């Protein structure tokens, strides 16, 4: 048993390291899998794709890179891109260096004397300079930034759509829309279990990218009437694009399950690190870091009107570098604009008073949950129940509603203050639930050392990095297996749910995968001196599809042709011990009056010179189904 776990972990670690070869985990056939279709095959997609500047050139990573490559071919547009990059860099510059950085940008891009000046931004120089003198805040270039984007979204974006760079974008979009099946991935050890099935590690064959595959068993979903819940989680994951929330990369189905392919988090969950890595709890800087990233994740969810409702240490996962993401969005729900919702869901000890009382709410339960997490990360225990304390649900809920949490000397004054404000029983008075929302939480003195702009850009180093040689999950045999679901039959009425669920790859995560694994760099090659390569040349026909080795062997000696005849004639060599290849004879008529199968081979091949060598199945105007019905498959 121990050996089985060691083998499973070793194989997983080898895959995480890229397999140890030059291909970095990619399949031998990765270039064939990601082979660009000829541009002539992208015409229909070009007609229906949304041609929106913000969507293609800002939100979609590959579209953004290709638009920038196009801009590099024109000096005036290249300067616009350089200005945009400089203004984005200013946004994440540390406070003490921001004024100097702002002055550099104004001098380089907004003054007449500069060789790098951007004409459309020149009129903003004076106003930006005045704002910089008053206060080097992050927003001083916001008007200029908008003006540059407005300009690029006009004539430059129209011209981009006529270029080979946009044609290449269409080719990438065609690859993005390839069918996704279980054969798209290699499967590795089980990492854990969810409500409807196992979670295992997997790897995309084409790119070598590792993911976690959450399998939802079809029969288990149907038995528990969980279709709406499963589809809701899938649609929310698909909608949210945040570095602080697990991303959905693919959704597909197998015979027995529907599968969500998610960001893999190899560093374990916060519960493991709070209680299994020395004295329970974390030091202040680590609590601040994780709380700030959770706050960013909640902000991104709330921006999409999504309330999470299940914030607890088990649902906060660490990646290889020590950054965290919120996971398991099974209880998350979209709140209709201007409305409140009701639902007594969550985990005992972490549910807010308004949830326990079944009152209406919007985003307030999430800020309560953040308070519980900050408390637990600091104290090494949850605020309303001690670790492993045996207590009834009703008693825990009574404590949440009536008792005040206690604070030990582990809490600084700032930590104590933010916990009290987040764990306020009345949601109307709770931090995060007032008019300033998430910004009020970020502005609290507990986070005074956190630069949230740099945090959101990924520029703040984590205080702890997981061991890359460790597997932070239970042993394979310690993960309880699901029992077989009995008495449930799948039928045609279930197909509507499966078709809504199994939608293939998700655009932004898929494009990020291509870039991160360097497949984009390796494949995005153009002709010499910026010319169109053959696959982008409208004047060249597409290359014929490459056939497999078996297909080439089967068709080596014969010209394909379908011939319809009313009197079919079959012949096979009874001495062959393997299935013979199926051949369509090129003659229009059978050379023999009857379907005689006992003719000597020499006679048949002498009188019919168009036939292939002995040992092949020959048919005139019949289908493979016809051959099976004649029993010829038994040769």
CATH of the domain at 144: 1.10.167.10
- Residue 622 resides in a domain: no
Q: Within 13 Å and on the Cβ side, how many CA atoms surround 604?
A: 24
Q: Are strands 210-217 and 248-253 parallel, antiparallel or unpaired?
A: unpaired
Of 265-279, 461-475, 532-546, 603-617, the poorest mean pLDDT is in 603-617
Pairwise CA distance, residues 330 & 268, whole Å:
19
- Residue 30 resides in a domain: no
- Residue 278 resides in a domain: yes
Q: Do 252 and 390 fall within a single domain?
A: no
Q: Do 411 and 300 fall within a single domain?
A: yes
Residue in the structure block whose two tokens are 């199945």: 617
- Residue 523 resides in a domain: no
Pairwise CA distance, residues 187 & 173, whole Å:
26
As a whole number, mean pLDDT of residues 139-148 equals: 90
Nearest 5°: phi and psi at 253? -130, 155
Pairwise CA distance, residues 492 & 109, whole Å:
62
For 450, the token pair is 């956190």
As a whole number, mean pLDDT of residues 600-618 equals: 45
For the chain, give the percent of residues with pLDDT over 90. Answer: 64
Of 67-71, 383-387, 488-492, 520-524, the poorest mean pLDDT is in 488-492
Residue in the structure block whose two tokens are 């038994």: 634
Q: Report the CATH number at residue 196.
A: 3.30.200.20
Q: Do 223 and 337 fall within a single domain?
A: no
Of 326-330, 410-414, 489-493, 604-608, the poorest mean pLDDT is in 604-608
Q: Do 262 and 273 fall within a single domain?
A: no
As a whole number, mean pLDDT of residues 49-77 equals: 96
Pairwise CA distance, residues 209 & 204, whole Å:
5
Return the DSSP state at 348.
Answer: T
Indicate the residue among 176, 196, 211 that finishes a domain: 176
User: Domain containing 490: what range?
Assistant: 179-266+476-504
Query: CB pairs under 8 A, 24+ apart, for 342-346?
Result: 343/309, 345/309, 345/310, 346/309, 346/310
Query: Does the structure show a pLDDT above 60 at 158?
Result: yes
With CA atoms as reference, report the closest residue to 429 among 421, 418, 439. 421
Q: Do 438 and 327 fall within a single domain?
A: yes
How many Cβ atoms are within 10 Å of 362's Cβ, its own excluded? 17
- Residue 617 resides in a domain: no
For 245, the token pair is 């929330």
Q: What is the pLDDT of residues 177-219, one digit of tens each?
A: 999 999 999 999 888 877 788 899 999 999 999 999 999 999 9
Instruction: Label residue 403 exposed, middle or buried (CB < 10 Å: 0-12, 13-18, 19+).
Output: exposed
* 8 Å CB contact between 582 and 619: yes
With CA atoms as reference, report the closest residue to 326 among 277, 262, 386. 262
Q: Do 303 and 382 fall within a single domain?
A: yes
User: Phi-psi category of 230—alpha, beta or left, where left has phi over 0 and alpha has psi -120 to 50?
Assistant: alpha
Tell me, what's the pLDDT at 21?
65
* 8 Å CB contact between 58 and 64: yes
10 vs 523 pLDDT, higher one: 523
Tell me, what's the pLDDT at 362?
96
Q: Report the CATH number at residue 341.
A: 1.10.510.10
CA 200 to chain centroid, in Å, comes to 16
Return the DSSP state at 4.
Answer: H
DSSP SS3 for 211: strand
Q: Do 262 and 272 fall within a single domain?
A: no
Q: Work out the pLDDT band at 583, boundaries 50, 70, 90.
A: very low
pTM: 0.81
As a whole number, mean pLDDT of residues 592-616 equals: 44
DSSP-H helix ranges across 177-283: 218-223, 227-239, 270-276
DSSP SS3 for 248: strand
Residues labelled catalytic: 310
Query: Does the structure show a pLDDT above 70 at 588?
Result: no
Return the DSSP state at 382.
Answer: B
* 8 Å CB contact between 195 and 315: no
The mean pLDDT value of the chain amounts to 85
Q: H helices then E strands: how many in the chain?
A: 27, 12
Q: What is the pLDDT of residues 35-50, one digit of tens each?
A: 999 999 999 999 999 9
Q: Work out the pLDDT band at 483, boundaries 50, 70, 90.
A: low
Q: Do 278 and 406 fall within a single domain?
A: yes
Tell me, what's the pLDDT at 30?
94
DSSP-H helix ranges across 423-494: 437-442, 452-456
- Residue 514 resides in a domain: no
Q: Work out the pLDDT band at 580, boundaries 50, 70, 90.
A: very low
Tell me, what's the pLDDT at 3?
78
Pairwise CA distance, residues 509 & 248, whole Å:
7
Backbone CA torsion sign across 535, 537, 538, 540: negative
Q: Do 373 and 495 fall within a single domain?
A: no
Tell me, what's the pLDDT at 393?
92
Pairwise CA distance, residues 262 & 214, whole Å:
7
Backbone CA torsion sign across 455, 461, 465, 468: positive
Pairwise CA distance, residues 214 & 256, whole Å:
13
Angle at 218 between CA 213 and CA 219, to 5 degrees: 135
Give, for 72, the enclosing helix (H) or strand (E).
none
Q: Do 385 and 288 fall within a single domain?
A: yes
22 vs 114 pLDDT, higher one: 114
Residues at the binding site are: 223
Residue in the structure block whose two tokens are 């092949």: 616
Residues contacting 278, CB < 8 A, separation 6+: none
As a whole number, mean pLDDT of residues 559-584 equals: 38
Angle at 407 between CA 401 and CA 408, to 5 degrees: 150
How many Cβ atoms are within 10 Å of 179's Cβ, its own excluded? 10
Q: Work out the pLDDT band at 518, boundaries 50, 70, 90.
A: very high
For the chain, give the percent of residues with pLDDT over 70. Answer: 84
As a whole number, mean pLDDT of residues 157-171 equals: 97
* 8 Å CB contact between 251 and 347: no
Of 220-229, 320-329, 373-382, 611-620, the poorest mean pLDDT is in 611-620
- Residue 566 resides in a domain: no
* 8 Å CB contact between 400 and 353: yes
Return the DSSP state at 487.
Answer: S
- Residue 71 resides in a domain: yes
Pairwise CA distance, residues 71 & 53, whole Å:
14
Q: Do 335 and 410 fall within a single domain?
A: yes
For 570, the token pair is 């079959």
Tell me, what's the pLDDT at 579?
34
Q: Do 47 and 111 fall within a single domain?
A: yes
Residues at the binding site for ATP are: 223
Pairwise CA distance, residues 63 & 510, whole Å:
12
Tell me, what's the pLDDT at 564?
36
């Amino acid at each position: 048993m121990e050996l089985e776990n060691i083998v499973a972990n070793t194989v997983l670690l080898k895959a995480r390291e890229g397999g140890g070869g030059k291909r970095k985990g990619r399949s031998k056939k990765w270039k064939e899998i990601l082979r660009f279709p000829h541009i002539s095959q992208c015409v229909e997609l070009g007609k229906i794709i949304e041609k929106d500047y913000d969507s293609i050139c800002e939100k979609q990573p590959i579209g953004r890179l290709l638009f920038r490559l196009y801009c590099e071919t024109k000096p005036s547009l290249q300067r616009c891109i350089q200005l945009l990059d400089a203004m984005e860099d200013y946004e994440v510059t540390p406070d003490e260096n921001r004024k100097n950085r702002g002055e550099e940008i104004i001098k380089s891009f907004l003054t007449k004397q500069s060789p790098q000046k951007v004409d459309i931004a020149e009129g903003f120089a004076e106003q930006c300079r005045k704002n910089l003198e008053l206060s080097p805040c992050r927003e001083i270039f916001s008007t200029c930034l908008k003006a540059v984007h407005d300009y690029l979204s006009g004539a430059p974006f129209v011209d981009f759509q006529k270029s080979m760079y946009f044609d290449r974008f269409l080719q990438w979009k065609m690859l993005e829309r390839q069918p996704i099946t279980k054969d798209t991935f290699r499967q590795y050890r089980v990492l854990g279990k969810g409500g409807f099935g196992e979670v295992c590690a997997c790897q995309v064959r084409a790119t070598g990218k590792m993911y976690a595959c959450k399998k939802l068993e079809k029969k288990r979903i149907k038995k528990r009437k969980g279709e709406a819940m499963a589809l809701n989680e899938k649609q929310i994951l698909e909608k949210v694009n945040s570095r602080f929330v697990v991303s959905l990369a693919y959704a597909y189905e197998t015979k027995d399950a529907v599968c969500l392919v998610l960001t893999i988090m190899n560093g374990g969950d916060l519960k493991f690190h709070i209680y299994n890595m020395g004295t329970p709890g974390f030091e202040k800087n680590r609590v601040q870091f994780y709380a700030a990233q959770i706050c960013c994740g909640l902000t991104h969810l709330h921006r999409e009107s999504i309330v999470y409702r299940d914030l607890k240490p088990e649902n906060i996962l660490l990646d290889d570098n020590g950054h965290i993401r919120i996971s398991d969005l099974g209880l998350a729900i979209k709140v209709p604009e201007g409305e409140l919702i009701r639902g007594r869901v969550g985990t005992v000890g972490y549910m807010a008073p308004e949830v326990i009382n079944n009152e209406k709410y919007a985003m307030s339960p999430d800020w309560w949950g953040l308070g519980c997490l900050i408390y637990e990360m600091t104290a090494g225990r949850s605020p309303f129940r001690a670790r492993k304390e045996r207590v009834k649900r009703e008693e825990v809920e009574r404590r949440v509603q009536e008792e005040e949490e206690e604070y030990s000397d582990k809490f600084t004054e700032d930590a104590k203050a933010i916990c009290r404000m987040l764990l306020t029983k009345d949601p109307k008075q709770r931090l995060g639930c007032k008019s300033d929302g998430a910004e009020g939480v970020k502005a609290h003195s507990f986070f005074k050392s956190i630069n949230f702009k740099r945090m959101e850009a990924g520029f703040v180093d984590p205080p702890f990095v997981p061991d890359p040689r460790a597997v932070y999950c239970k042993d394979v045999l310690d993960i309880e297996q699901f029992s077989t679901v009995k008495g449930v039959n799948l039928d045609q009425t279930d197909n509507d749910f499966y078709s809504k669920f199994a939608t293939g790859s998700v655009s932004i995560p898929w494009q990020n995968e291509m870039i991160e694994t360097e497949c984009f760099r390796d494949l995005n090659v153009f002709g010499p001196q910026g010319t169109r390569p053959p696959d982008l040349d409208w004047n060249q026909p597409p290359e014929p599809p490459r056939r497999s080795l078996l297909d080439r062997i089967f068709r080596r000696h014969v010209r394909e042709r379908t011939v319809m005849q009313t009197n079919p004639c079959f012949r096979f060599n009874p001495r062959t011990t393997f299935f013979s290849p199926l051949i369509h004879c090129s003659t229009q008529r059978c050379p023999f009056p009857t379907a005689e199968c006992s003719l000597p081979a020499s006679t048949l091949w002498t009188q019919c010179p168009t036939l292939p060598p002995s040992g092949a199945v020959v048919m005139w105007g019949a289908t493979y189904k016809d051959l099976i019905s004649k029993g010829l498959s038994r040769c």
